[in-house]
Each structure stands twice: as C-alpha cells, then as structure tokens.
Amino acid sequence: MKTCATASTLALLLAALLVTPLAAPRAYAADSKATAAEATAMVKKGVAAIKAAGKDHDKLYTEITAKDAKWVDRDLYLVVYGLDGSVKAHGANAKLVGNNLMDMLDIDGKPYIKERIELAKSKGSFWQDYKFTNPTTKKIEPKSMYCEKVDDTVACAGIYK
C-alpha cells in the first residue's frame, strides 16, 4: 500500500516537473534581458497604438507611463518623445514626462536625445547607442535604443548590453 502511494507521489512530482517550464516561461524570462527583436516589436506595437489613437494620445501616454504590462517587460519599456525633445510618455520614469530633454547628456557627454531627434528626422527608424541607467539593476549600462518616427513623435524601446 505504501509503495503505491509513493509511486503515485513520484508520478505527480515528475508530471509537475515536466509541465512547470511550459506553464511558467515568464518567471524564467523575468531574470533575463530583453532582446533586440523584443525592443523592435514593442516599438512597432507603440507606433501602431499611436496611429490608432489619432490626435488623442493622452490616454495612451498615461497607460505607457503607468507601466502598463503592454509597455513594460523586465528592462524593456516604451518611451515617446516629441520632435522638440519633450517626453510624452516614459515607461520607466514618470518624472521625465513633460520635460524637454534635448540637452540631456549621457555619462560620456553624448547629447543622446538631440541625436535621437536628428536621426528620427533624417532616417525615420534607427538604432542608437548610448549609456543609461538600467531600471532593474540601477546601474549605468551601455544601451541600444530602437526608434521609429511616427507623425510628430518618436517611439523608442531599448536593450541593455
């Protein structure tokens, strides 16, 4: 009788171990860094949402800034800038919304927002390298940001290297 119960328990444990990786991939992914493909996909989703919102972007920008799960994933988040360098929405730091960051420099003195706006105007979509504080590690790290110009804004999401 005891052997039967032990065999049943072992069978249940084995079944649980086999199913667990399939049932909880996000728990494992939460410790990993975002990929370039994920950053690109988030920006494309953001661009589509901006276009769908028409002229009324306030609700969308509030959603992005509120760290809605659609716009924040681990160290990946969406940021939307006006072409004047003003922050319209920021998935990692709500305090930046409404501020003009055109003169912001990274730790190496690179005017990365100014460069980002210029690249948006000249290329439309691009990758940009600079250094920024990773919201998950709280450390300044090399970052690559993918951006796309949409109307009079630039939607961006980046990966930490």
Nearest partner of 152 among 95, 102, 86, judged by Cα: 86
42 and 6 inside one domain: no
The helix/strand/coil state of 72 is strand
What does pTM read for this prediction? Answer: 0.78
pLDDT band at 95 (very low <50, low <70, confident <90, very high): very high
- What would the pLDDT profile of 41-83 be if each residue is shown by its tens digit? 999 999 999 999 988 899 999 999 998 888 999 889 999 999 9
Find residue 158's DSSP bridge partners.
145
Statement: residue 19 has pLDDT above 80: no
11 and 75 inside one domain: no
100 and 50 inside one domain: yes
Structural domains of the chain, count: 2
CB 144 within 8 A of CB 127: yes
Domain carrying residue 122: 33-160
Torsion sign (Cα): 124, 57, 36, 143: positive
Rg over CA atoms, the chain: 21
Statement: residue 10 has pLDDT above 60: no
Structure confidence at residue 91 (pLDDT): 94
16 and 51 inside one domain: no
DSSP, residue by residue, 60-124: HHHHHHTT-TTTEETTEE-EEEETTSBEEEESS-GGGTT-B-TT---TT---HHHHHHHHHHHHS
94 and 55 inside one domain: yes
